[in-house]
Homo-oligomer: A and B are copies of this chain.
C-alpha cells in the first residue's frame, strides 16, 4: 500500500499528484506528456463514458469514427481555427523505419517522406467537415447528429495527469443543421447534458455560461461552458459546447438544398468533454485520506471485508459476506468481497479508503454471532453497527444519501466561496481567498487581458442567467451591463 498522502492544506498540488498515482488512477509514461491510465482509473472513466454515451444516444446522436490523421493543409482552411489552434501538434513526416547501418537499432528512412505532412488530430472539425461535404446534399440529410470517442493530441509543455496531457481521451460531437437557431439550440442542449452529467453523476455543481471572445474556441461564434470550483479555490472548465455558425461549412464548402429550393451553407456545432473530467472528479470530493467517489461512478460501490482469526472463523464469515454480496448484486449494486487471506483487514481498510470506495462493510466474529454488520461511509469517515438482516435496503439508501451529500457539500463550498465585489481592492482580496468572483467588466478584450496579466484571473464565463444589472467595470470604471464570473483556473 501507498505511503501517507501530503495534506491538501500543506500542498494541494502535491496532494493531487500523489493521490492520482497512489490510488492507482494514472501515471506518467516515458513518453513526454502522455499518461498511462491504470485499470482502476480507467474503470471510472468507463463508467463516465457509458453514462454520457447513453445520454448522447437518448438525445438522438449516433457514433462514428474519423481518421486519426489530418492533412496539414486542412488546418489552414478555417482561418480562425488555424490561428487559435493548430500550432502545438504532433506532426507525422515519414512512414517507414529501416535498420541502422551500424546495427544500432532503427532509423527513420529518409526515402519514406510524406508529400504532405499529417497532423495527429488535436480536434476533428476539419476532417469531419471535409467528410460532411459528401454526406449532406439536402435539408433531408439534416440534422446530422454525430459523436466520436477518440484520442487527441495537443503538444503541451507543462502537463499534469488528467488535467493537461499531450494525449487525452475525449468525445467530440459534431452536428450539422438547417438553421442558426437549430444549431444554437443543439449547442445549448448539449451544455445541459454536460451539466446534468456533472451534477447528477459526478455530484459536482457547475456554473453554465458563455465564454468571452478571448476564451472562445478557435473557429466558434459562441462557446458555452460548464465551470466547476475545486477545493483549492481554483476553477476548472469541465466541458464546452460550441456554436460554429457557418464557418466550417464555408471553409469546406458544405451547402444544402433548402426547403424552398435554394442553396445554403450548413450550420454547425461541436462539443466535448475529456479525461480532464477525471481531474475534476478527484479534486471536487477527495480528502487527505485519499479518493472520495460518488457512488454512481464508483467501479466498486461497496466493499465487504471479513475480520477473523483462523480458518474456521474465516470460512463462516466469508460465507456470510458472500451471501450479502449476492443480495447487493441482485439489487444492482457493484460490490467486491475482499477475502484475500494474505492481507490484514487494517491494510484493506486503508486501501479502500485511499481508493474512495463509498461504503465498506466489515463483519467480525462478534457481528457474525450477533447478526450485525459494521457499515462505514467513506465521505464522512463515520461508522455504525446495524442489523445484518436489513443490510440491502440500508445500503441502497445510504448510497443515495452519499451521492446527494457529496453534491450538497460541494455546492455549499462553491456558494460560500463565491464573492460579489464592486471594487478593485475587493476583487484582489476575493481572488486571493479563492472561489468564483462576480464582478462588472467593461466588455473589452483589452481589459480582460489586462486583468489576466495583473492577477492571473480569467473570465470563466458570462453566466446564462437573465440577471442583467448595470454597474461599472472593476478595473476601468467603464459602464457594464452584466456581472461576469472571474477566477483563477486550471
A-side residues, CB < 8 A to B, are 27, 29-31, 34-39, 42-43, 46, 62-73, 75-76, 82, 86-98, 104-106, 108-109, 117-120, 127, 130-131, 134, 140, 146, 150-151, 153, 155, 167, 169, 342
* Complexed CA–CA distance, A27 and B135 (Å): 11
A129 to chain B, nearest CB (A): 12
Partner of A87 from the list B66, B92, B98, B127 (CB cut-off 8 Å) is B98
- Please give me the residue from chain B that is nearest to A157 by CB atom: B95
Q: Given the known A-B contacts A31-B118, A67-B36, are A95 and B105 also in contact in the complex, defined by CB atoms under 8 Å?
A: no
- Please give me the residue from chain B that is nearest to A109 by CB atom: B87
Partner of A120 from the list B27, B92, B131 (CB cut-off 8 Å) is B92
Q: Given the known A-B contacts A68-B151, A89-B96, A92-B90, are A106 and B76 also in contact in the complex, defined by CB atoms under 8 Å?
A: yes
Q: Given the known A-B contacts A31-B70, A95-B90, A108-B93, are A36 and B65 also in contact in the complex, defined by CB atoms under 8 Å?
A: yes
Q: Which residues of B contact A89 (CB under 8 A)?
A: 95-97
A207 to chain B, nearest CB (A): 30
Of listed A35, A97, A151, A153, residue having the most chain B CB within 10 A: A97
Partner of A97 from the list B68, B75, B151 (CB cut-off 8 Å) is B75
Q: Which residues of B contact A153 (CB under 8 A)?
A: 68
**21 pairs across A/B with beta carbons < 8 Å?**
A29-B131, A31-B67, A31-B69, A31-B127, A37-B65, A38-B64, A67-B167, A72-B106, A73-B105, A76-B104, A76-B105, A86-B106, A87-B96, A91-B93, A91-B94, A91-B95, A91-B96, A97-B119, A108-B117, A120-B120, A140-B342
* Complexed CA–CA distance, A105 and B38 (Å): 40
A109 to chain B, nearest CB (A): 8
Q: How many copies does the complex hold?
A: 2
Of listed A27, A38, A140, residue having the most chain B CB within 10 A: A38
* Complexed CA–CA distance, A395 and B79 (Å): 54
Q: Which residues of B contact A82 (CB under 8 A)?
A: 105-106
A119 to chain B, nearest CB (A): 7
A55 to chain B, nearest CB (A): 16
- Please give me the residue from chain B that is nearest to A151 by CB atom: B68
Q: Which residues of B contact A91 (CB under 8 A)?
A: 92-97, 108
* Complexed CA–CA distance, A98 and B119 (Å): 13
* Complexed CA–CA distance, A120 and B90 (Å): 10
* Complexed CA–CA distance, A109 and B86 (Å): 12
| Contact yes or no, B118 A90, CB < 8 A | yes
Q: Given the known A-B contacts A96-B87, A96-B155, are A34 and B67 also in contact in the complex, defined by CB atoms under 8 Å?
A: yes
Beyond A86-B97, A88-B96, 7 additional contacts (C-beta under 8 Å) are: A30-B71, A35-B67, A36-B66, A39-B62, A69-B90, A72-B106, A87-B106
Q: Which residues of B contact A150 (CB under 8 A)?
A: 151
| Contact yes or no, A127 B29, CB < 8 A | yes
| Contact yes or no, A69 B34, CB < 8 A | yes
* Complexed CA–CA distance, A349 and B51 (Å): 34
| Contact yes or no, B42 A75, CB < 8 A | no
* Complexed CA–CA distance, A97 and B90 (Å): 9
* Complexed CA–CA distance, A43 and B108 (Å): 38
Q: Which residues of B contact A42 (CB under 8 A)?
A: 62-65
- Please give me the residue from chain B that is nearest to A83 by CB atom: B99
Q: Which residues of B contact A131 (CB under 8 A)?
A: 27, 29, 36
* Complexed CA–CA distance, A128 and B12 (Å): 31
* Complexed CA–CA distance, A71 and B31 (Å): 7
Of listed A46, A65, A73, residue having the most chain B CB within 10 A: A65
| Contact yes or no, B68 A39, CB < 8 A | no
Query: When A and B form their complex, which 10 residue pairs have the shortest distance between CB atoms, in order from nearest?
Result: A76-B105, A34-B67, A39-B62, A37-B65, A91-B94, A95-B155, A93-B93, A90-B92, A31-B67, A39-B64
